[in-house]
Structure 1
Amino acid sequence: MSFDLAKVIRPEVQGLRAYQVEVPPGPPPRIKLDANESPFALGDSVREELAAELGKALADVELHRYPDPEARELRGLLAQDLGVAPEQILASNGSDEAIQMLLMAVAGPAVTIVAPVPTFVMYEIGSRVLGLRFVGVPLDGSFDLDGTTFCRVLAAEKPRLIFLAWPNNPTGGLYGSPMVEEILRTCSGRACDALVVVDEAYTHYSGETFLPTLSAYPNLVILRTLSKIGLAGIRLGMLIGSRAVVEEINKVRMPYNVNALSQAAARVVLRHPDVVRRHASAIIRERERILGRLRDFTGLTVFPSRANFFLIRTDRPGDDVFRGLYERGILVRNFSRAPHLANCLRVTVGTPEENDAFLSALGAVMGHGG
C-alpha cells in the first residue's frame, strides 16, 4: 500500500508540535509544581457534599441520555456568582474549548490573530490549527507590554481577535487596566473591529477583573475556568460577553460539550465561595513569602506575579536547574528553550511544606542555602 498521510494532513498541522509537558525519565516526582493547579483539596465538608451530589447525579441521570445541552442550572449559578445574565455565559469543556470556539467563529482566509508573547501557547496553536495567521507582539525585557506599540500593531494588522492573558501565563504579570481599556477602544472601530479576549484564568489570585466594564465594551470577551481553584479534573470553563457575542459563539459550540458530572461538581463548588476565597488567600500569602525568599538568591531573576505561579530566570542553563530540581523530587515547568524565555522556569505555588522543599532544593541546585 502506498497511502501517503502527508497528502491528507494540512501542512500547518504537520508543522505543529502536540501540547506536551516535559517530565524526565525516572521515578515520579514527590512534589508537583508544574501545572498551576491548586495544592489544596476542597475540604471534608465540601468533598462530602460533592460525593453526595455526584452520587445523586449518577443515580438520577439517565446515562444513556445526553446531559443538558445548555447547562442551564449551572449557568444560572454562574450568573449569580458573576453578576451577569445567564444569556451572557457560555459553558465550555475547560477554557481551552472556549478559545477554540472563538477562533472557529472568526476563522476565514487571511484572518489574523494577535497576542503579546510569550503567553499561553494555546492561542497560537489553536490559530495555526485553523490555518489562521498568528502575530505575536514581544513583551519587553521585564515581560511588560508596551501599549503604544501594541495598538500600532493592531492598527496595521487589523486582527479579528486579540488574546490578553490577565495575569499573563507563563510570566505572571498583570497589564495595567488603562492599557487594556485603550486596546478595547482601539478595537472598537477606531483602528479595527476585533473581539478583545481577556483571559482571567487566574483572577482569584490577582483580585482584578474586567467584569464591571462588560456593558461599556461590546467587543470585550472574558474567559474564566474552575481549573485553577481546585477543579482541574472536571474541565469546566466559561466565556462571558454581551448577549450578542455569546449568541454568535454558541453557534460553533459542540453539542453537549459539558458532561453531567462536571456540571454537578461545579454546582457544589459554586455553593462554597468561602472555601475558594480562603484557599486563594492562602496561596497569595505563600506566593509573596516565596518571592521574598527568592529575591535573596544570587544568580536568579524573579519576575513579579499576580497569579498562583511565578517565573524565574537562572544565570545557568535552565535545563540543568530543571533536572537538578527533578532529581530532588520536584517537578516544575521548564520553559528554558521556549522563544523569549531562555533559562526560565515556571513554578506553581504549593502548600507551605511543598514550597519550603522547593526553596531548599533550589538552594542546593544553585549552590547556596534557600
Structure 2
Amino acid sequence: MTAPKTPTTDSLQALMQRVIRQDVQSMHAYAIQDSRGLVKLDAMENPFTLPQPLQAALGERLGKVAINRYPTTCVGDVVAALSKHVELPEGCALMLGNGSDELISLLALACDRPGAKILAPLPGFVMYEMSARLQGLQFVGVPMTADFELDEAAMLAAIEEHRPAITYIAYPNNPTANLFDDAVVQRIVDAVGALGNGFVVFDEAYQPFSSRSWMQRMAQYPHVLVMRTLSKFGLAGVRLGYMAGAAALVHEIDKVRPPYNISALNAEATLFALEHADEFARQAAVLREERAALLAQLRELPGARAYPSEANMILVRVPDAKKAFEGMKSRGVLVKNVSALHPLLANCLRLTVGTPAENRLMIDALKASL
C-alpha cells in the first residue's frame, strides 16, 4: 500500500492559490498588537476588573452552568434582559451576535443580493469594509471633512448614486471618537428612507460614554437598526453584541444567525453583568471624568492636537506619529498608531482612556516622546 503524499510547501502554496479566493489572498488579517508587559491602552477596553466579591459570585455562578448542553433558554433570557436594560421601544426586537463583528458579517450576508453595496464614511471601523468584501459586496467609502465631520453633500450624493443596501453610521465614530452633527445625520436617515432601497445602521459600540443615542428614535424609522456591544460596557472578553430594530426586520436578519452562536457561559456572564449594571455605570462615569481630564491635558501639550471625544478614546495628532508611538512603547505604554489607516489620519494616535494611574503614565510617556 502506497503511503499518502505529504504536500510540500510549494505544492501547498499552489493548492491555496487554486482554491482560496484571490481577494482573500490579497487581504490582510485584522491586526492585534502584542501587549505583554505594557500598559494596554490600544483597544478601547474598560480597564477596570470586577470588585473581588463580584468576581467570586460570578465564578460560583458560572460553575453551575450546564456546559454539557447547547445554549437555548439562556439566550432568550439574555434577549429579555437586554431589552429591559436598553428600554427597547414597543414594536422593536433584539438579536444577539458573537460581538458586534459577527452582526456586521450577518448583515452583509442577509443583504447579499446582486449588485448590493455597503456605504460608510471614512475613516471608520475597518470591519464594515472587510465584511462587505468577504461577502462579495461592493464597499463605498465616503471621506469625511478634515475635522472628521460627515461631508453631507458627498454622503447624500453617494447614497443617491449607489443606493446602498446598508449605510453605516458609527455613533460615536471609531477611530475619531466624535459624534456627528445630529441634523446632518437626520438628513442622511431621511435620504435613505426616501429611496426605499436600504437600511441605516447606527453602530453605538461606545454608547456608555456618549451623550446621544438612536435607540429610542429608531422606533420612528423602520429602516433604522441600532447595533451595540458589551465590549465597552466592560465585557470585552465575553464577546456579546446585540442589534435592535423593527421586529419584522430583526426577525428576518436573525434567520442567517448561526445556531448557538452565543455560548452558555457568555450568556450567564452577561445576565450577571446586567444584574450589576450599577457597577459598570460607576466605571463608565470614572472613565468619562478621566476623558475630560485627559483632553484638558492634551490641549495644553505643545505639538499635540486632541479632537473632541464622546467615546473612551481620544484621537490626537502629533508631529511624528511613528516616533511618538515607538517612544511611548519603549516607555511601557501601548497605544494605537492609526496614521496609516486613512490619509485624513496622518500622524494621528488613538489613545484609550484608562485608569487614573494608567492615564498619568500615558501622558508622561507622550510628553517624553514628542
Deviation at 1:87, TM superposition (A): 6.6
1:9 aligns with 20
Matched, 1:304 2:312: no
The total of aligned residue pairs comes to 357
Instruction: Identify if the C-alpha distance between structure 1 residues 211 and 272 changes in structure 2 by more than 3 Å, giving closer, same or farther.
Output: same
Deviation at 1:199, TM superposition (A): 0.4
Q: What letter matches 1:226 in structure 2?
A: L
Structural mapping, 1:218-257, within 5 Å: 218-257=222-261
Matched, 1:169 2:187: no
Q: 2:342 aligns with which of 339, 342, 351?
A: 339
CA distance in 1, matches of 2:204, 2:223: 16
CA distance in 2, matches of 1:193, 1:86: 22
Report the secondary structure of 1:223's partner residue.
strand
Contact 2:229/2:240 (8 A) holds in 1: yes
Residue identity over aligned pairs, in percent, reads 39
Gaps of 5+ in 1: none
Note the aligned Cα RMSD (angstroms): 1.6
- TM-score, normalised to structure 1, is 0.93
Matched, 1:358 2:366: no
Q: What letter matches 1:19 in structure 2?
A: Y
1:273 aligns with 277
Deviation at 1:49, TM superposition (A): 2.5
- TM-score, normalised to structure 2, is 0.93
Matched, 1:52 2:52: no
Deviation at 1:120, TM superposition (A): 0.5
Contact 1:76/1:86 (8 A) holds in 2: no
Report the secondary structure of 1:187's partner residue.
helix
CA distance in 2, matches of 1:217, 1:191: 13
CA displacement, residues 67-117 of structure 1 (integer Å, 9 cap, x when unaligned): 117811111111111122697010111010111111100013321110000
Instruction: Identify if the C-alpha distance between structure 1 residues 12 and 69 changes in structure 2 by more than 3 Å, giving closer, same or farther.
Output: farther
Matched, 1:117 2:107: no
Contact 1:310/1:346 (8 A) holds in 2: yes
Matched, 1:261 2:265: yes
CA distance in 1, matches of 2:142, 2:92: 33
Report the secondary structure of 1:254's partner residue.
coil
Matched, 1:141 2:174: no
CA distance in 2, matches of 1:358, 1:339: 24
**Worse-superposed segment, 344-353 or 174-183:** 174-183
CA distance in 2, matches of 1:293, 1:219: 41
Contact 2:119/2:168 (8 A) holds in 1: yes
2:137 aligns with 132
Gaps of 5+ in 2: 1-6
Matched, 1:42 2:50: yes
CA distance in 2, matches of 1:262, 1:165: 25
